[in-house]
Structure 1
Amino acid sequence: MSLLYQRTPLIKASDSAAARLGVRAVYLKLDNLQPSGSFKIRGISHHVRRTLAGRSDTGPLALISSSGGNAGMAVAYVGKAYSLPTIIFVPKTTAGSIIHKLEELGAQVRVVGSVWDEAHQAAVAYCNELGAAQTLYVHPFDHPDLWEGHSTLVDEIVEDGVLPDLVVCSVGGGGLLGGILQGLAKHQLPQTLVAAVETDGAASWRAAQDQGLVEPVAISEISTIAKTLGARAVSAGVLKLARAHPAGVVSVLVSDRAAVQSCLIFADEYRFLVEPACGASLALLDDAALFKQSFPTLGHESVVVVEVCGGSGVNLELLSDWKSQTGLAD
């Protein structure tokens, strides 16, 4: 079977964006154009493909995952492509439109818990009950295969002739960040800074960074409109990758309001809809003061790449709701 993810465009943002930030160029890596709606298809398709290739048991295999958003959509997409039964555990906060999309792809959806962590625990328990021979639990962000698959976006950036001084990405559990760090190491780009952007109400990376990136630190609650950033603790494996990256990972926090506002700005300027989890990264581009404060060593010769991670759960109605919830419609 051919690759299930697509090579995505790397486009140059407007000259005004670069001038605002005081850098030479800003590029946007458009993983919102992936067939499942987000970058998640890169790592998840790689993980399933590798597992199937190495499997000696010829009996039936079901894909199990826990995600009310992009990972769930990617697992359902891969399950349909491989004709594998798929069950997605989602929290109660999952929009009905997402559940409908998952079911349209042939996945069975089980609603468990009020946050992702509770849906994750239920999914793992279900896999343990059926046994490893019959199930593959596809973790949304915490597996080396995922990071290796996500690293292909860095391959494409380098193949397009861009060597960034800074890569900006949103962080939930850390899978995307892990892929970027692996990609930078693969291409021997130790000097490239990485921005780990979160909303204030889902700052699990900042919590770990405040403790020296030694181990994951569970935050007490998720209180953000960017639900797909809603992991209470980041991956320990990605923390290890961050500690090994010479240039370091810079934690940046933005408000829900800023994330949604940047979704609106992005829609106006580039005619794409993305969700607030992606808007968090874009918000760093729209706030020159925050950018310069976070990256004082960057200057007029610097090149910035922003991973536009996408969003399978975005539509005009939801964008309007987020706008109202954050007071932008007043």
Structure 2
Amino acid sequence: MIDVSDVRAAASRISGRIRHTPVLPVGASLWFKLEYTQHAGSFKTRGMLNQILSAPTVPAAGIITASGGNAGLAAAYAARELGVPAEIYVPVTAPPVKVAKLGKLGARVVQVGNEYAEALSASVSRAAETGALFCHAYDDPAMIAGNGTLGLELLDQVPGGFDTVLVAVGGGGLIAGVIAALSPAARVVSVEPVTAAALHDALRSGGPVDVPVSGVAADSLGARRAGGIPYELASSFDVPTLLVEDDAIVDARRRLWDDYRIVVEHGTAAAYAALTSGVYQPAPGERVVVLLCGANTDPSDLA
């Protein structure tokens, strides 16, 4: 199982290649971790860099990944920085803003299917055909360890420490890294849309299961099945899973804009929606961090 030693090794490996993203205090007992300011607009750049740098070799064919958008952007950025080709498979439903950015980063973009799962299947077949390094978007030890490096940063960024971290969850690659970095010292809480609850259903069922995927956050939290590694970590540390409705996610995203001039995607806003909707109610004096993990979105609907 991934643990903090793997996360520390990842931090050393990707040092100098990622941004140490800031923390914003927004109340006496609440902080935002502004990970959406990371290279390529999300936390996934940490994990992709670690995944590629951990590989014994990168074939001439480069790397291949499947993504709802953010993992692809991270892979394209990492590949460009490391000087290797990248081929990214995304659903035809991927937001145009993400697809356009992939092209700007120099990746070859292939759109397949209506869901992440279909793009994933096509990308695995293509990697086997070409010999490219397949980089999983969330269920890979190196990816997870790299993502966890933001948790190590948090330990140095919140004066006096914190009790709880709220994390938006799709396939589980981010929360798995945070669990590895911070548990059991801090409580890590999963927040998922009601319409895409892969980790919640996995923990309820005793293992990853296929779930229906829809809703406003499906482009970034649209994994049909939670990863095996995230499931094992979340199960081992008895991670609570909360579900939020789409209207709460939309409201939280707008509040982040109205109150703080923070622009994030709907999936990212899910973590904050746990607080604004009352699904998560901190105990008196509880010190809470909300991870704001991605900002690859079209801000026009916030005007």
TM-score in same-fold range (> 0.5): yes
- Note if 1:225 corresponds to 2:225: no
Kindly indicate whether the alpha-carbon contact (under 8 Å) linking 1:172 and 1:231 is maintained by their aligned counterparts in 2.
yes
After superposition, where does 1:133-152 map in structure 2 within 5 Å?
A: 135-152=132-149
Alignment partner, residue 199 of structure 2: 205
Deviation of 1:97 after TM superposition, in Å, equals 2.2
Classify the secondary structure of the residue corresponding to 2:258.
helix
Kindly indicate whether the alpha-carbon contact (under 8 Å) linking 2:70 and 2:98 is maintained by their aligned counterparts in 1.
no
CA distance in 1, matches of 2:254, 2:108: 33
Kindly indicate whether the alpha-carbon contact (under 8 Å) linking 2:127 and 2:133 is maintained by their aligned counterparts in 1.
yes
- Note if 1:166 corresponds to 2:184: no
Match 1:216 to one of 195, 205, 208: 208
Alignment partner, residue 11 of structure 1: 24
- Note if 1:280 corresponds to 2:270: yes
Match 2:287 to one of 293, 303, 308: 303
Kindly indicate whether the alpha-carbon contact (under 8 Å) linking 2:65 and 2:75 is maintained by their aligned counterparts in 1.
yes
Residues 319 and 137 of structure 1: is their aligned pair in 2 closer, same or farther, counting only changes over 3 Å?
A: farther
- Note if 1:41 corresponds to 2:45: yes
Higher Cα radius of gyration: 1
Query: What percentage of aligned pairs have identical amino acids?
Result: 33
Deviation of 1:218 after TM superposition, in Å, equals 0.8
For 2:164, the aligned partner's letter is L
Kindly indicate whether the alpha-carbon contact (under 8 Å) linking 1:70 and 1:311 is maintained by their aligned counterparts in 2.
no
For 1:32, the aligned partner's letter is Y
- Note if 1:26 corresponds to 2:30: yes
CA distance in 1, matches of 2:172, 2:116: 14
CA distance in 2, matches of 1:196, 1:116: 20
Deviation of 1:8 after TM superposition, in Å, equals 0.7
Name stretches of at least 5 consecutive residues in structure 1 with no aligned partner.
16-24, 293-297, 321-330
Residues 319 and 91 of structure 1: is their aligned pair in 2 closer, same or farther, counting only changes over 3 Å?
A: farther
Match 1:179 to one of 168, 177, 180: 177
Classify the secondary structure of the residue corresponding to 1:202.
coil
CA distance in 1, matches of 2:141, 2:30: 29
Deviation of 1:318 after TM superposition, in Å, equals 5.0
Alignment partner, residue 259 of structure 2: 269
Kindly indicate whether the alpha-carbon contact (under 8 Å) linking 1:4 and 1:78 is maintained by their aligned counterparts in 2.
no
Classify the secondary structure of the residue corresponding to 1:122.
helix
Residues 37-91 of structure 1, C-alpha deviation per residue, up to 9 Å, x if partnerless?
011111111111121xx32x7x514110111311111001111111211110010
Residues 104-140 of structure 1, C-alpha deviation per residue, up to 9 Å, x if partnerless?
1100100111100000000000011122xxx111111
Deviation of 1:151 after TM superposition, in Å, equals 1.2
CA distance in 2, matches of 1:2, 1:244: 29
Name stretches of at least 5 consecutive residues in structure 2 with no aligned partner.
1-13
Structure 1 runs, 4 residues or longer, greater than 3 Å off: none
Kindly indicate whether the alpha-carbon contact (under 8 Å) linking 1:171 and 1:229 is maintained by their aligned counterparts in 2.
yes
Classify the secondary structure of the residue corresponding to 1:127.
helix
What is the TM-score normalised by the length of structure 2? 0.90
Kindly indicate whether the alpha-carbon contact (under 8 Å) linking 2:42 and 2:70 is maintained by their aligned counterparts in 1.
yes
CA distance in 2, matches of 1:300, 1:172: 29
Residues 316 and 232 of structure 1: is their aligned pair in 2 closer, same or farther, counting only changes over 3 Å?
A: same
Residues 221-245 of structure 1, C-alpha deviation per residue, up to 9 Å, x if partnerless?
2111102100111011111112222
CA distance in 1, matches of 2:242, 2:235: 17
CA distance in 2, matches of 1:70, 1:162: 32
Residues 89 and 12 of structure 1: is their aligned pair in 2 closer, same or farther, counting only changes over 3 Å?
A: same
Classify the secondary structure of the residue corresponding to 1:87.
strand
CA distance in 2, matches of 1:305, 1:61: 40
Matched residues, number? 288
Classify the secondary structure of the residue corresponding to 2:41.
coil
CA distance in 2, matches of 1:318, 1:110: 27
Kindly indicate whether the alpha-carbon contact (under 8 Å) linking 1:273 and 1:315 is maintained by their aligned counterparts in 2.
no
- Note if 1:235 corresponds to 2:227: yes
CA distance in 2, matches of 1:100, 1:167: 32
CA distance in 2, matches of 1:28, 1:86: 32
